[in-house]
Amino acid sequence: MLLEVKDLSLSIGILRLLDRVSFAVDRGQVLGLVGESGSGKSLTALALTGLVRRIGGVVTGGVILFDGQDLAGLPEPALRRLRGKRIAFITQNPMSALDALKTIGDQVDQVARLHLGLSRRAARARTVEILTRLRIPDAAQVARAYPHQLSGGMKQRVVIAMALAADAELIIADEPTTALDVTVQAQIVMILADLVRQRQIGLILITHDMGVVAQICDLVCVLYAGRVAESGPVETLFAAPRHPYSAALIGCIPREGMAPGALKGIPGGVPSAAAYGDACCRFAERCPRADALCRRTRPPERIEGGMTVACHHPLPLLSAAPEVAR
């Protein structure tokens, strides 16, 4: 397993923002980390690279096993050598992810020069090669351009190129398509999917777009208020979501031929981190299936049919097998 996160808990000050989050991703796999804003997706990404320490985050429990090595306790210099080299991070907004004063080539070169010790010339050749592979026309020319001369989609590809420059094995992409328009979004998603298959890297895709998840993810992990609601193979989740929250998220995807008004939203909003309850299901306030039990006890994790679901009253399994609570 390339990356295995087990029972990761994380606090910033008195706020307990992640509560026993677990997921795993292997080489050649895409894991979708989904959930509404404020559910802890980006925080999880920051935790994986150790960058969360900069904003005062403390891992209070669990392990982050990357290729067998626990990153949670690794000192900063060791983490820094890992970042960009083995684990690359693609930030949310490609429009501002590049330094306006430096050429594209300069910025991509830097990663290979830092981590692979390449000479300036070798690094530039590599940059041009990577840019070409990302279907950037006239890559040598683009390498000499400044960020403001490129479109959003081009910039995002440059950011992806930075992630590839030192042959990272795991790429964490934090909403890589949100700032782009729809046609470009599809292109970027396809590029990422191709990279995973061709180079056998692991990709963690953080998104709130269930459409993208359905398109390229192998595994999905639905986060809600700092806890995993449901996780498992993407086909199973879309065919038969067990957790009412996953079901509601899928219900939010517009489909062709939908009757007007059939598109549903989820009433209410994500609770604030200060109001996270401990001994309850955090989705209970918005859940149509919630009862007194949900407000009193933390739902146990059930593992059934390849899915892990944390719910007292999960939706029925597709095969209608008898449910057994753990």
Partner 1 sequence: MTAAAPRPGLLPAVLRSAPVLAFTSWKGAIAGSFLLLLILGALLAPWLTPYEYDVQNLPGAFQPPSLAHPMGTDEFGRDLLTRILYGARTSLSVSGVAIAISLFCGMVLGASAGYLGGRFDRAVMVVVDLTWAFPEILVALMLVAIIGPGTTGTLVAICVAYLAQFTRLTRAQVMSLKSETFVEAARGMGASGTAILFRHLLPNCLGPVLVAGMLATGDAIILEATLGFFGLGAQPPTPSWGGMMSSGSGLLFKGPWIILFPGLCIALTVVAINLFGDALLHKLDIRERVRSA
Q: Which residues bind partner 1 (CB under 8 A)?
A: 49, 51, 54, 80-85, 88-93, 96-103, 105-106, 109-111, 114-115, 120-121, 124-125, 128, 140, 144, 146, 148-149, 159, 162-163, 166
- Could you tell me what percentage of the chain is helix, strand and coil, using 3-state DSSP and rounding each to the nearest 5? 35, 25, 40
- Return the number of the residue (23 or 89) whose C-beta is nearest partner 1: 89
Query: In terms of Cα–Cα distance, which of 15, 16, 47 is closest to 204?
Result: 47
For 288, counting Cβ atoms within 10 Å of its Cβ (0-12 exposed, 13-18 middle, 19+ buried), the class is exposed
Nearest distance from C-beta of residue 199 to partner 1, angstroms: 18
- Return the number of the residue (118 or 307) whose C-beta is nearest partner 1: 118
Nearest distance from C-beta of residue 187 to partner 1, angstroms: 20
Nearest distance from C-beta of residue 197 to partner 1, angstroms: 24
Q: Which residues lie below 8 Å from residue 127, measured CB to CB, with a gap of 6+? A: 105, 108, 109, 112, 139, 143, 161, 165
- Return the number of the residue (9 or 93) whose C-beta is nearest partner 1: 93
- Return the number of the residue (10 or 97) whose C-beta is nearest partner 1: 97
Handedness of CA 115, 96, 226, 275 (dihedral sign): positive
What whole-number distance in Å separates Cα of residue 3 and Cα of residue 86? 11
Nearest distance from C-beta of residue 59 to partner 1, angstroms: 18
- Return the number of the residue (122 or 317) whose C-beta is nearest partner 1: 122
Nearest distance from C-beta of residue 181 to partner 1, angstroms: 19
Question: Residue 298 pairs with which residues in a beta bridge?
Answer: none
- Return the number of the residue (123 or 247) whose C-beta is nearest partner 1: 123
- Count CA atoms closer than 13 A to 238's CA, side-chain side: 17
Q: Which two tokens stand for residue 92?
A: 């949310």
Nearest distance from C-beta of residue 275 to partner 1, angstroms: 27
